[in-house]
Chains A and B, each alone.
Chain A
Amino acid sequence: MIEKIEKKERMKIKRAEMPAQKPEDRVRNFNEVPFGLTAEQAITEAARCLECKKAPCIDGCPVEVDIPGFINLILEKDFAGAARKIKQTNSLPAVCGRVCPQEEQCEIKCVLAKKFKPVAIGHLERFVADYERENNLVQIPAVAAPTGKKVAIVGSGPAGLTVAGDLIKLGHDVTVFEALHKPGGVLVYGIPEFRLPKNIVQAECDVLKDTGVKFENSTVIGKMETIDELFEMGFDAIFIGTGAGLPNFMGIPGEQLIGIYSANEYLTRSNLMRAFDENDYDTPIIRGKNVAVLGGGNTAMDAVRTSKRLGADHSYIVYRRSEAEMPARAEEIHHAMEEGIEFHMLTTPIKFIGDDQGRVVQMECLNMELGPPDDSGRRRPVPIEGSNFIMDVDLVVVAIGNSSNPLIQSTTPGLETNRWGNITVNPDTMQTSRPGVYAGGDIVTGGATVILAAGAGKKAARAIHTYLSNGAPK
């Protein structure tokens, strides 16, 4: 164990830099970009933590991970113990350590952040989770005596997986129904391999399977059985975690041309269907030379970085506001810039132009300027008249957000939704307007984050357990 060092000394330690693939190498492969911290790096980084009594970082974490607690275990070199500590409140640390926006959650609140750089909480989280998994130290959780209650979970994204993990431990009989042929939700079909290797998601699902969770993939609830029919089949409670999976389009002329994808389609072809590996997998994907990705969020960054890896000469982000308003994580924007992604800020397309084969070849755009703030508090982009210009593009990916898929809502009488079609719930219990039916994740909030979905799952699992323990009406 390293000696506990004085606070003053600790503050002199420089924040750990995670080693990563060089940009010129990584744009030619789909391997993960950062390699992760070494054990020494992790211990040194852990030593930076001041173990604050009223740790403000915990307030910044949507699921209140005991951050100083797990960091302290790293100092004691009990890496697997640290991972287990996180798992008390966050069931997906290997995922969250990679994709959570720590810079605006826990790390921004870290007391060190004011004068120095914050503790690299995300890097440490990833390190301990990887250590535990790679050394086969993941324990199959103990399961309580069977309660005889059956729970159906619809959708296997972070929300559904979290509910499944919590309820199986409590002795309930849990079945996850997933529309696609693999579980994981956006973690498998959306977020690319180079940011979240799919074997990590698979490992999380395998642990759930080994704990007793049943997975029924390729089962679209609402088309196969409805929510009411699940009750008839003997399920006592149901959790809906179907995500925000209905892609928005621009609604401008030429959008039906070949070479215009929604981000969902582009990323699904590449990630879930593994089109990037054309020798071994059958699903085709268009590999553009001049690729424009419309939008400024994580999805847009994932799509544009994918396009570069699929061989584009020029990959552009086309965003109607300025860089300051981009909702993507700072780290993703940084990685994208390193990889040579070209940013066209304050630009919006108004028309796609095709050739005689119906393939997109150009895009007409307008320049924008920022006006007064809109509803979202961000300054509203206003077109500059007469600023039209043409961009040559042979692939366009529309990444301007998703709405909720209406499949469950439209087949479940009495299930209340808001004006955007999201399911409304009691925020304390995640219960919907239907007794025994709970919902959480993007289907409730609209597109949000992995950890918010997982947090909603935690809350719902507690409420479902209470509901079932009090003798759910048959």
Chain B
Amino acid sequence: MPRVVDNIQIGPLTWKMRVEVPRLVAKAKAGQFVIIRVNEQGERVPMSIAGLDGEQGLLTVIYQVVGKTSALMTTVENGGEISDCVGPLGLASHVENWGTACVVGGGIGIAPVYPIAQAYKEAGNKVISIIGARSKDILFYQKEHGEVADELYVCTDDGSEGHHGFVSDVLVKLLKDGAPIKMIMAIGPVPMMRVVAKVTKEFEVPTWVSLNPLMVDGTGMCGGCRVTVGGETKFACVDGPDFDGHLVDFDVLTSRLNAYKDQERKAMKKLLEDPNCRLTKAVREFTYPGENKA
């Protein structure tokens, strides 16, 4: 079973986990993902690659608590184990030297665009990074992105750090001002990717988005991860996860993500009420958006 070197809280509901999987790390590239199973009864959850340390054979994933499995992940101790970590899955992000390239990371998407920014940089691009989150305490990786990017723009929805507004606002401004961006990679919540794709279409800048539909096997066997791109059905786990943002049907993606809403909430409630589970206070007080904890 793969060993978890450390599993550290880096935000109110955000954790960073490093897993020792040297053979996987040796093959993995920016843009790919892994599937983790915490325990025998657990679900298989896909997680983007947020960092690769070839020397030590360590994989970094950064995850947000959104339900039962991500909550359970927080209980894995430093030096502990998880049942499985399979990968690298999906296709690596397309990387070449376009001159100037831009990565846009929103929320948890700040994590996977980091290795992609590194890859863009290594290919010789000038890299512009735009990262953003709802507010300051949710932001992370400002330093890491700062070290890679030639230009870094940080934004928060509430203005608590950096530019007051959305990542797409910054991007529009840059494009309007004539920044010579030839390629954009945007990863984040679906509404954010949708908006970014919409604005970059107007400026005719090619834009990749990384799609996160529900998955089971991650090898093309189940078809649960199917997405509609340019009117065609694609399996995100093998044909993606990166797709041309201008062709993605975001409505289908959004709707399919809600497939198990009721069951997910029931499972999470049960976990939060389980006194035996070693959850931190912050996780135990988890609420769904728009829901008040009594």
Smallest CB–CB gap between B116 and chain A, Å?
19
- Which residues of B (88-124) have their CB < 8 Å from a CB of A? 88-89
Q: How far is the CA of A198 from the CA of B264 in the complex (A)?
A: 26
Min CB distance A417 to B, Å, is 16
| CA distance in complex: A36, B69 (Å) | 39
Q: Could you tell me the dominant secondary structure of chain B's interface residues?
A: mixed
A330 at the interface (CB under 8 A from B): no
Answer yes or no: A282 CB below 8 A from chain B CBs: yes
Which residues does chain B contribute within 8 Å of A255, judged by CB atoms? 233
Q: Would you call A407 and B233 a contact (CB within 8 A)? A: no
Known contacts A256-B252, A282-B267, A358-B258: A264-B223 contact under CB 8 Å: yes
Question: Are the CB atoms of B27 and A217 closer together than 8 Å?
Answer: no
Q: A181-B83, A249-B233 are in contact. Are A223 and B260 (CB under 8 A)?
A: no
Are A284 and B263 within 8 A (Cβ)? yes
CB 8 Å contact bits of B25-38 with A (1 = contact, 0 = none): 00100000000010
Chain B residues positioned under 8 Å from A217 (CB to CB): 84
CB pair A179 B219 closer than 8 Å: yes
Q: Would you list which residues of chain A between 200 and 230 have a CB under 8 Å from chain B? A: 217-220, 223-225
* A73 CB within 8 Å of chain B: no
Task: A255 to B263: give the CA distance in the assembly, Å.
Answer: 22
Check if A286 is an interface residue, CB within 8 A of chain B: yes
Residues of B55-77 contacting chain A, CB below 8 A = 68-69
Q: B216 to A224, Cβ gap below 8 A?
A: no
A358 to B252, CA, bound (A): 8
Closest residue of B by beta carbon distance from A190: B221
Question: Is B17 interfacial (CB-CB < 8 Å)?
Answer: no
- Cβ-neighbour of B222 out of A219, A262, A407 (below 8 A): A262
Specify which chain A residues have a CB less than 8 angstroms from the CB of B68 in the assembled complex. 282
Q: Is the Cβ of B222 less than 8 Å from the Cβ of A265?
A: yes
Partner of A357, one of B42, B224, B258, B264: B258
Asked if B87 is at the interface (CB within 8 A of a chain A CB), the reply is yes
Number of contact residues on B: which range applies?
35 or more
> Contact at A218–B221, with CB atoms within 8 Å?
no
B201 at the interface (CB under 8 A from A): no
State the CA gap A399–B27 with chains docked (Å). 34
- Nearest B-chain residue to A233, judged by Cβ: B23
With A179-B86, A223-B27 known as contacts, the answer to whether A258 contacts B258 (CB < 8 A) is yes
Q: What residue of chain B has the Cβ atom nearest to residue A178's Cβ?
A: B86
The answer to whether B222 and A247 have CB atoms under 8 Å apart is yes
| Contact residue among A247, A278, A281 (Cβ-Cβ distance under 8 Å from B221) | A247
Taking CB atoms, residues of chain B closer than 8 Å to A251 are 233
> In the complex, which residue of chain A has the Cβ closest to the Cβ of B271?
A282
Instruction: Judge whether A358 and B219 touch: CB under 8 Å.
Output: no
Would you call A261 an interface residue if the criterion is a C-beta within 8 Å of the partner chain's C-beta atoms? yes
B246-268 vs A, Cβ < 8 Å mask (1 yes, 0 no): 00000010011011100110010
Residues A220 and B86 in contact, CB atoms below 8 Å apart: yes
Contact A265 B216 (CB under 8 A): yes
Give chain B residues whose Cβ lies under 8 Å from the Cβ of A406: 220
Give 7 A-B contacts (CB < 8 Å), ordered by A residue. Answer: A179-B86, A180-B217, A218-B84, A225-B27, A265-B224, A282-B41, A284-B260
Closest 5 CB pairs of A and B: A358-B255, A265-B222, A218-B86, A284-B263, A262-B223
Chain B positions near chain A (C-beta within 8 angstroms): 23-24, 27, 37, 41-44, 68-69, 83-89, 216-217, 219-224, 226, 228, 233, 238, 252, 255-256, 258-260, 263-264, 267
Interface contacts beyond A218-B86, A283-B43, A357-B258: sample of 5 additional A-B pairs, CB < 8 Å, sorted by A: A256-B252, A262-B224, A268-B217, A284-B264, A407-B238
